[in-house]
Amino acid sequence: MAASVGRICKTALLKSPHVPTIKQVCSLSTSTREWTRGRKAFLGTIGMLAGGTGALLFALDRSVRASDLELHPPEHVWSHTGLFSSLDHASVRRGYEVYKQVCAACHSMRFIAYRNLVGVSHTEEEAKAEAEEQMITDGPDDQGNMYKRPGKLSDYFPSPYPNEEAARAANNGAYPPDLSYIVSARHGGEDYIFALLTGYCDAPAGVVLREGQYFNPYFPGGAISMAQALYNEAMEYSDGTPATASQLAKDVSTFLKWTAEPEHDDRKKMLIKSIGIFTFLIVLTYYVKRVKFAPLKTRKIEYRPKEK
């Protein structure tokens, strides 16, 4: 390798490279010479054209977005909105009750197990009791048959339908989506869930709904196959919180936020830690840089061209 490079470059490698004279060095600098008028005008025009084109493209894009026939959910201030704010775990607990009594009739939640509730919204005994209420299909046994048994902590939440086809057949062809990660999966997150659950209204004139469809402006297209599920006093909370429709929607949205991001609290705690550590490290790096550069910055370099 080295030999072939040497053969190609020959003696050029041995010679010292061309060093510019002091005059050439001065002419390389931009600070010594002003731009010419023509050049200024040319660059100014190019800049304005580029900026104008960008603004036009942005405006065109916005106008396209405004024509969407869907209502974007308003942004609410949740108790977990904010850099350091954790989830409200009392709300998560109430949201689990709403999920269990209302949503779970049609929606599955296949990626959350009863053990996940321990230390988040339920004690271990309560989570065990919750699991034992459900009959889980297990098996096969000695004869090769599946059988039912009470749930254990390690079981995932049971699905209301055995498969997607059964779910579609039972719901007029519409598939109730799995709710485990629904907050991350929908534009607008928990704001969307809350707006959707509380946003049912009568269809405006001109909107045709088929059999088994309902109107919800927050749902893309407006026609949704899920009927309004949350009403005032639709259920009762075990902790005595007044069960208004918006309270139910807020709690179940918080619960779904937790199922979609179980690491939410740890992540925010980690942010506090990284801010602390990196502040320290940045200060340290800056100090070390100053120390290392002090002799370089304070020394004087003088260039004397060779006298001829």
Residue type present at position 101:
Q
Tokens standing for residue 64: 């396209």
Of 9, 272, 284, 294, the one binding another protein (CB under 8 A) is 272
For another protein, how many residues bind (rule: CB under 8 A)?
23
Identify the H or E element spanning 150.
Answer: strand 147-150
Q: Which has the closest alpha carbon to 196: 209, 204, 187?
A: 187
For strands 214-215 and 147-150, give the pairing: unpaired
9 is known to lie in a ligand binding site: no
Residue 269 in the binding site for another protein (CB under 8 A): yes
Q: Are 147 and 141 in contact (CB under 8 A)?
A: yes
φ and ψ of 132, to 5 deg:
-70, -20
With binding defined as CB under 8 A, does residue 247 bind another protein?
no
**97 lines the binding site for another protein (CB under 8 A):** no
Judged by beta carbon, residue 126 or residue 155, the one nearer another protein is 126
Contact pick of 71, 111, 115, 126 for another protein (by CB under 8 A): 126
Q: Which is nearer to another protein, 81 or 137 (CB)?
A: 81
277 binds another protein (CB under 8 A): yes
The amino acid present at 168, given as its one-letter code, is: R
CA distances from 36 to 39, 43, 50, 81 (A): 5, 11, 21, 54
**Any known ligand binding at 26?**
no
**How big is the chain by its Cα radius of gyration, in Å?**
33
| Strand, helix or coil for residue 156 | strand
Asked if residue 156 lies in contact with residue 104, where contact means CB atoms within 8 angstroms, the answer is no
Are the C-beta atoms of residues 189 and 257 closer than 8 Å to each other? yes
- 168 touches another protein (CB under 8 A): no
Nearer to another protein, 29 or 238 (CB): 238
Q: Which is nearer to another protein, 227 or 272 (CB)?
A: 272
Q: Which listed residue (71, 72, 90, 153) binds another protein by CB under 8 A?
A: 90
Residue 196 Cβ vs another protein, minimum distance, rounded to whole Å: 25
Q: At its nearest, how many Å lie between another protein and the CB of residue 268?
A: 7
Q: Does 241 sit near another protein (CB under 8 A)?
A: no
Nearer to another protein among residue 84 and residue 303 (C-beta): 84
Given the rule CB under 8 A, which residues bind another protein?
Answer: 79, 84-90, 93, 119-123, 126, 239, 265, 268-269, 272-273, 276-277
